[in-house]
Structure 1
């Protein structure tokens, strides 16, 4: 009955031949009012709507008004927006510091090579000079330059500027991704306190995985064992109801999809992640060799220049002073010009990406209640996109894994 009264009021308001300004506002509001069913709103709610219409204060965008059950808690939204601001600030910080540390790598490489080559040149000139004050001055200058280059190389090899720059690039990318996830959470649903806590955990995990300070918190640049990078919080084990059976076919899941994802996990673990860890081992060994040989060569060159002119050492001191400096420049160029530290961090990060995919897939498969999993069709599409494959190619990969077993040589990812 209340609905009929509201309809008659609207038609009577719009039927006047010369409506007033207020009545025209009422008519526009009436045209944008959604259709309410008696089951969703009480008569008191309709009376309130009519009072808004009479006063002309009815909002024009009521077609997008959410029902009371889907309206988010304002405090939850405020916390999520605060997290978005913090994440955006971290993206900017990591970008700026990454550029700074990349400049460190270029400037230190150029400076050390210049000093080393200048010292080697001075050592060669000193070897051709006659005994006297010019020889002493050249020897002293060359020795001091070699010692300075040695100290700078030790510091540079300790902090690995190219690796630091790669860490900041990865952090900026991951924080940008987290920023988009929070935006999506706010846009498509009604966020809760659990969404706030999850976002907070991800921010703290990223801060720990990619620290900004160098002193005390810098990541180990020469670990004894290469492990995948981990930038996500540990997944909490969801409580499971005892005796709960598997509901295959619900929420986009079925037995074929589960078997397919199990095979994909096996391929990622055996081929993709293992390959990047193997390459990371080679990169770290090469970097260690360069990090030791560079300062060692400049140190030996400094000793050689200090002993030049001594009758007991002859030409060996000259060879050590000149050739040692030249070799040190070559080693330094290969290590820091080739950015071996950055390559190691890239391998470690890629291995971490595949580890994250493994954990995500296994977490969904271990959840016995399929209604509490992520939607199966959506999750399958995400996995395919992350691997650079179509859905049919993802199924072909699983079929190949079933046929060939442990002998499969195909990699899961087509992106990298």
Structure 2
């Protein structure tokens, strides 16, 4: 039973499916909003299908056989979005003249580049570092738990034996006590869930980085409106617009970038 529990990692599995449920609900609201606005195109349908398939691949519903690797060799951010996003199409506007800069200027572009740098150096790197520590801890606990339980079972089997009586009692008692502590810490402490939480949070920051970089790579008129995008980034990081500008300013000063994380939410 311990081997099966440690292989499946129920707490980690629960966190995976909880994240999947949240992301599917978010995608559902995006599609519902698009339909309510009206006139969705085949491009919108294709884009939504790519998101659904990417999310299903990131968090597969058939849990056994195709479930995610619980003890990966390397810790990487969770990825639940399409890897190759098509260039956004220029929207047709009529009835009013649009600013050629689309809400963007050189200062805002530099600000976004600095924020991407902070996300990579601090937030994403820190969550991956913590995730790696918890992964190693989980591996040790997953191996030592069944091993100690097996030694305790072997020791209890030899209790009463004339030649191994004293050692069998010590092995049974010590092994049983240690296995109880290890198994209680692993599953009671939800170590697998904590690892998955760190991996998922690192994925959130990676998605933000890719979103900002893809906007900066686009032609100005095809980008998302700069003022709206600036506000969206600030909200995702739990900051006001002034705090976001202060973060970008401090990150450009040597030695200041390593003092503060980009996100204030988690």
TM band (smaller chain): over 0.9
CA distance in 2, matches of 1:318, 1:410: 54
Q: Is the 8 A contact 1:163 1:343 kept in 2?
A: yes
1:373-407 CA-to-partner distances (Å, cap 9, x unmatched) read 11111111110000000000000000000113575
CA distance in 1, matches of 2:25, 2:182: 36
**In the alignment, which residue of structure 2 is the partner of 1:236?**
85
Q: CA deviation at 1:190?
A: 2.7
Q: CA deviation at 1:232?
A: 0.4
Root-mean-square deviation (CA, aligned residues, Å) is 1.6
**In the alignment, which residue of structure 2 is the partner of 1:163?**
12
1:324-367 CA-to-partner distances (Å, cap 9, x unmatched) read 11211111110000000000000000000000000000000011
**In the alignment, which residue of structure 2 is the partner of 1:337?**
188
Q: Secondary structure at the match of 1:262?
A: helix
Corresponding residue to 1:371 among 221, 245, 258: 221
Normalising by structure 1, what TM-score?
0.60
Q: Is the 8 A contact 1:400 1:408 kept in 2?
A: no
Q: Secondary structure at the match of 1:403?
A: coil
Alignment of structure 1 residues 56-75 onto 2, 5 Å:
none
Corresponding residue to 1:392 among 242, 245, 249: 242
Corresponding residue to 1:178 among 21, 27, 35: 27
Q: CA deviation at 1:188?
A: 2.8
The count of residues paired between Structure 1 and Structure 2 equals 257
**In the alignment, which residue of structure 1 is the partner of 2:134?**
283
Normalising by structure 2, what TM-score?
0.93
4+ long deviations beyond 3 Å? 236-240
**In the alignment, which residue of structure 2 is the partner of 1:296?**
147
Q: Secondary structure at the match of 2:165?
A: coil
CA distance in 2, matches of 1:308, 1:315: 8
Q: Is the 8 A contact 1:249 1:255 kept in 2?
A: no
CA distance in 2, matches of 1:302, 1:261: 59
Q: Secondary structure at the match of 2:104?
A: coil
Change (3 A) 1:281 1:340: same
Alignment of structure 1 residues 118-129 onto 2, 5 Å:
none
CA distance in 2, matches of 1:320, 1:215: 35
Q: Is 1:319 paired with 2:174? A: no
1:156-185 CA-to-partner distances (Å, cap 9, x unmatched) read 000000000000110011011101111221
Q: Is the 8 A contact 1:276 1:350 kept in 2?
A: yes
Change (3 A) 1:237 1:192: closer
CA distance in 2, matches of 1:171, 1:193: 25
CA distance in 1, matches of 2:87, 2:158: 70
Q: Is the 8 A contact 1:389 1:414 kept in 2?
A: yes
1:57-96 CA-to-partner distances (Å, cap 9, x unmatched) read xxxxxxxxxxxxxxxxxxxxxxxxxxxxxxxxxxxxxxxx
Corresponding residue to 1:351 among 188, 202, 205: 202
Corresponding residue to 1:267 among 115, 118, 126: 118
**In the alignment, which residue of structure 2 is the partner of 1:225?**
74
**In the alignment, which residue of structure 1 is the partner of 2:94?**
none
1:302-327 CA-to-partner distances (Å, cap 9, x unmatched) read 11011112222231101111221121
Unaligned runs of 5+ in 1: 1-151, 241-247
